[in-house]
Amino acid sequence: GNSVTQMEGPVTLSEEAFLTINCTYTATGYPSLFWYVQYPGEGLQLLLKATKADDKGSNKGFEATYRKETTSFHLEKGSVQVSDSAVYFCALSDLGGAQKLVFGQGTRLTINP
């Protein structure tokens, strides 16, 4: 079945550091890919998405590129802020259901000032 694997956390960085959170997937066909973020005490919210190969999703300084050849969708940000501290989830849309997402395990990110 479809699955998502993302780097284990927790990840701790200093403010203004470069961030990469790795995400790879296994899927039949060409699913859409997503990054969701869960800030402390809040529900998940969509951070960015890409719907086809070579698409780049971007939002709030974060970027991720849909790489079909490496089945990856790594999340990057050039300069992180304390407010980026959260849990980040990589996900793909299961082609068997329009709104059925398969999530990775989540990566907890802490940014120190």
Partner 1 sequence: KAGVTQTPRYLIKTRGQQVTLSCSPISGHRSVSWYQQTPGQGLQFLFEYFSETQRNKGNFPGRFSGRQFSNSRSEMNVSTLELGDSALYLCASSSVGRNTGELFFGEGSRLTVL
Which residues of the chain form contacts with partner 1 (CB under 8 A)?
Answer: 32, 34, 36, 41-46, 49, 89, 91, 93-94, 96-106
Q: Minimum distance from CB of 52 to partner 1 (Å)?
A: 12
Specify the residue, 5 or 71, whose C-beta has the smaller distance to partner 1.
5
Specify the residue, 40 or 113, whose C-beta has the smaller distance to partner 1.
40
Q: Which DSSP string do the residues of the chain spell out, in sequence order? A: --EEEE--S-EEEETT--EEE-EEEE-SS---EEEEEE-TTS-EEEEEEE-STT-EEEETTEEEE-BTTTTB--EEESS--GGG-EEEEEEEE-TTSTT-EEE---EEEEEE-
Specify the residue, 45 or 79, whose C-beta has the smaller distance to partner 1.
45
Q: Minimum distance from CB of 94 to partner 1 (Å)?
A: 8
